[in-house]
A and B are shown apart, each in its own frame.
Chain A
Amino acid sequence: MKSFARSVRALASFFWFVGRKARRTKVFVLLGALPVLMSLVIQANRLFTPGTSVDGPAVFSNIVMTFNLQFLILVLALFYGTSVCAEELEGKTLTYLTTRPVPKPAIILGKYFAYAAFLILVVAAGVALSFVVLHIDRLGDAASWLVLLRSLGVLALGLLVYTAFFTLVGTVLKKSVLFGLMFSFGWENIVQYFPGATQKFTIMHYLKSLLPAVSTGGEGSFAFLLFKLEPSPPEAAVVTLAVLTAAFLGLACWIFSRKEYLFED
């Protein structure tokens, strides 16, 4: 067990290093900074156009969080999650990993943790900076910071579970992008608005159940995100998300250990 953990740590460190140096990292960091840009434009407009009724906290919860939760984390998780396996196959570098004394599941887990950590950092930085920009005149309000922390928690959980799901998809399917897009912008974005128990078949439902406004009963903020939501209890939502993450990763590790991967010539 100790050596397995050591292998996972070594691989996570390896892929953190490799990922940091990749050219596309800059692109995705910029993507994560888009909400900050958006927030700056909105605040600048408020400053230079007196009389505008734009409320910073409302923009944060209804715009920035909607953008991050319903679009950005899905796209980031899709690309990085499917890359866990697909990247090694496309680049034909899988051999270097499978001929090292590291268990195959450790390869999946190590790379997953490295990518998930990177994504959480990118998204958290963007959201936190957006928060600061949009709450610039009320940074002393402790309640707002709690909203930020909780929102960051939801986004982090979202990244963990979606990245785990797409890791599984990338391990099973060769052409995972199309399936991922259909799942993200088809299933998740549509079924979450279905009434009753149907919406519980989406990951988004459980993430939205954890949003601050759900537990405080505040309907004003996060109104966009809570549209048609019939929330699950937060404890059940966290457990469900944790179980889903573990299940997706477990299945991905199991399949990866048993599957033979052939490089396309």
Chain B
Amino acid sequence: MTAVIRAEKLSKWYGNVLGLSDVSLEIGPGITGLLGPNGAGKSTLMKLLTGQLKPSIGRVTIHGADVWNNMALFADIGFCPEQDAFYDELTGWEFVTRLLSLYGFSRADAASKAERALHFVELFKDKDRPLRGYSRGMRQRLKIAQTVAHEPGILILDEPLNGLDPLSKRKVIRLIKDFRDAGKTVLVSSHVLPEIEALTRSIVLLHQGKILAQGDIPYIRDLIDKHPHKISVKGSDPRALAASLVAQAAVQNIQFGPEPGTVVFETGDRDVLFGLLPRLIVERGIDIEEITSPDDNLQAVFDYLVGT
């Protein structure tokens, strides 16, 4: 993967408060989720990546060029800020077209791009209303419109799904995936894990200003040795299944429930357990309805790493 966005040993102090500590990462084409609890440093990292803040230590580059005070880079970057702030005197149409004019587009080009962007976020029919009269969701959609209107190659989105209704969220998630499919680079930050999970399996997990984990969700999960994997099996005779496996070294713990007919195995080696299960099912004739990994997801990874 060719890194589009690169952060090298990035640290940021706000006076005596450390906002970000020794963060190094590379982000390439595709969707990368940046997640962490409130105060983890996500917004600080976003601001460093978009040149709003200068690193105290380290370097941020996009396409190999330093970001700080390098305005030329922003022709290809679309940034959706977290704060709900606008030029309230303007209408939606004026807001998008006027910002497009700063890219050097002609009036006609700006109009057509604005129209496309506003249609996409379903704000075209409200384009002539003053922004003061927009609801929270409309304002969020407008932010997304101004982010994508100039068709950038890199999207940096800070909590883009805030305030959106479920249908709008699906549309925006679809848009972001379309960007990924077009080979563009997308960095999305959120503290809402299901949103990130719906978008990508490639994450950067921040906590207290440091990167706790980075990469594919299952890959990260596998690295967490401290917490054994949970395999939940629902079937006709969970106790018989449990009895068959209790002697196996790979099985560290067995729990029944919470659902009737369910047994949850904790194992340090999923591959061994998944190898044993089919053999036992056939030999003992146990009916199995469902096999799942309850903690092979982002929430579990988050909980284990952040420790809440």
A and B touch in the complex (CB under 8 A): yes
- Interface set of A (CB-CB < 8 Å, partner B): 6-7, 10-11, 13-14, 17-18, 21-23, 91-104, 257, 260-263
In angstroms, how far is the closest chain A Cβ from the Cβ of B153? 13
CB-CB nearest in chain B for A7 = B102
Tell yes or no: B160 within 8 A of A by CB. Answer: no
Question: Given contacts A13-B101, A93-B87, are A101 and B52 in contact (CB under 8 A)?
Answer: no
Question: Is there an interface contact between B79 and A101, defined as CB atoms closer than 8 Å?
Answer: no
Main secondary structure, interface of A, reads helix
Question: Is there an interface contact between A95 and B52, defined as CB atoms closer than 8 Å?
Answer: yes
Q: Name the interface residues of B104-163: CB closer than 8 Å to any CB of A.
A: 104, 146
In angstroms, how far is the closest chain A Cβ from the Cβ of B182? 21
Residues of A within 8 A of B75 (CB): 101
Question: Is there an interface contact between B72 and A100, defined as CB atoms closer than 8 Å?
Answer: no
Q: In the complex the two chains form, what is the Cα distance from A98 to B87 in whole Å?
A: 15
Question: Is there an interface contact between A96 and B146, defined as CB atoms closer than 8 Å?
Answer: yes
**The residue from B14, B52, B102 contacting A10, defined by CB atoms under 8 A apart:** B102
- Interface set of B (CB-CB < 8 Å, partner A): 14, 50-54, 69, 71-75, 77, 79, 81, 83, 85-87, 89-90, 94, 98-99, 101-104, 146
Question: Is there an interface contact between B98 and A17, defined as CB atoms closer than 8 Å?
Answer: yes
CB-CB nearest in chain A for B146 = A96
Question: Given contacts A14-B102, A17-B94, A100-B99, are A92 and B83 in contact (CB under 8 A)?
Answer: yes
**The residue from B53, B74, B85, B86 contacting A101, defined by CB atoms under 8 A apart:** B74
Residues of B within 8 A of A10 (CB): 101-102, 104
Residues of A within 8 A of B50 (CB): 95, 98-99
In angstroms, how far is the closest chain B Cβ from the Cβ of A265? 9
Residues of B within 8 A of A21 (CB): 89-90, 94
Question: Given contacts A7-B102, A14-B102, A18-B98, are A100 and B71 in contact (CB under 8 A)?
Answer: yes
CB-CB nearest in chain B for A22 = B89
Summed over the interface, the residue pairs from A and B with CB atoms below 8 Å come to a total of 75
Interchain residue pairs A-B with the least CB separation, the first 5: A92-B85, A21-B89, A101-B75, A99-B79, A100-B102
Question: Given contacts A99-B50, A101-B71, A104-B71, are A263 and B103 in contact (CB under 8 A)?
Answer: no
CB-CB nearest in chain B for A3 = B104
Name 7 interchain pairs, CB-CB below 8 A, sorted by A: A7-B102, A17-B98, A18-B90, A92-B85, A95-B85, A98-B50, A102-B102
Residues of A within 8 A of B71 (CB): 100-104
Question: Given contacts A14-B102, A17-B98, A93-B86, are A260 and B54 in contact (CB under 8 A)?
Answer: yes
Q: In the complex the two chains form, what is the Cα distance from A104 to B72 in whole Å?
A: 11
Q: In the complex the two chains form, what is the Cα distance from A186 to B73 in whole Å?
A: 45
Question: Is there an interface contact between A23 and B101, defined as CB atoms closer than 8 Å?
Answer: no
Q: In the complex the two chains form, what is the Cα distance from A260 to B50 in whole Å?
A: 12
Q: In the complex the two chains form, what is the Cα distance from A7 to B79 in whole Å?
A: 19
Residues of B within 8 A of A23 (CB): 89
Q: In the complex the two chains form, what is the Cα distance from A96 to B83 in whole Å?
A: 11
Residues of A within 8 A of B72 (CB): 101
Question: Given contacts A18-B89, A257-B69, are A95 and B81 in contact (CB under 8 A)?
Answer: yes
CB-CB nearest in chain B for A90 = B85
Q: A7-B102, A23-B89 are in contact. List 19 more A-B contacts (CB 8 A).
A: A10-B104, A11-B102, A14-B101, A14-B102, A17-B98, A92-B83, A93-B86, A96-B99, A99-B52, A99-B79, A100-B103, A101-B74, A101-B75, A101-B102, A101-B104, A102-B71, A257-B69, A260-B53, A261-B52
